[in-house]
Amino acid sequence: MLQTISLLLENKPGALLRVTGLLSARGYNIESLTVAKTLDSELSRMTIVVDVEERLRIQVIKQMNKLVNVLQATDLTDASAVIREMVLLRVRCTQDSRTSILKEAEIFHARVVDSSVEGFAIEATGEPEKLDEFIDVMGSYGETEITRSGAAAMSLESKKLRLQPPVPAPALAPAI
């Protein structure tokens, strides 16, 4: 089943690979992945949607939390969270369907970002399932092409962030 995981991790080279490597080493397929820096530019927030057997969900979270670069990994699959995605969609259409397309776009609160004689480029955001419908609907008007951002999630519960306090480095070289 699909599991949605939110991670807070250090913005360092290789950090992303450690997270995805953990999944690929177990043969899990990543459905989507988004990552960008947070208010603190040394940290990134990542959302991964991955196909994991139900009984291994907890294990995956635990393994992610073990990674040195990961500050926190949280399972949002059944948690109270907002999950949104964006899609950029290009639809080729005939003159007479243009008005209908615009109306449909309005229903989905989508925005036209480019318009030409061949058709439209439209930007829509929403829950991933809503976007599936939007893409289906647009497909009925003509040839479409899409780029999806992948899900970005935010937990609605504040979870305490447990951080490791600094420890002293070894003081002095032992006398030889």
Binding region for another protein (CB under 8 A): 9-10, 13-14, 17-18, 21, 25, 58-59, 62-63, 65-72, 162-164, 166-174, 176
Report the residue number, 39 or 169, with the smaller CB distance to another protein: 169
What number of other Cβ atoms are within 10 A of residue 129's Cβ? 10
- Residue closer to another protein (CB basis): 117 or 172: 172
Please say which residue, 117 or 175, places its beta carbon nearer to another protein. 175
Closer of 13 and 116 to another protein (Cβ): 13
Q: How far is the CB of 170 from another protein (least distance, A)?
A: 5
Q: Minimum Å distance from CB 159 to another protein?
A: 14
Using a 10 angstrom Cβ sphere, with 0-12 exposed, 13-18 middle and 19 or more buried, the burial of residue 14 is exposed
Please, what is the minimum distance in Å from the beta carbon of residue 17 to another protein?
6
In whole angstroms, give the CA distance from residue 65 to residue 49: 16
Rounded to a whole number of angstroms, the minimum distance from the CB of residue 122 to another protein is 39
For residues 122 and 145, give the distance between their C-alpha atoms in angstroms, rounded to a whole number.
11
Cα-Cα-Cα-Cα dihedral of 17, 19, 22, 23, to 10°? Answer: -100
Closest CA to 141 of 169, 101, 176, 171: 101
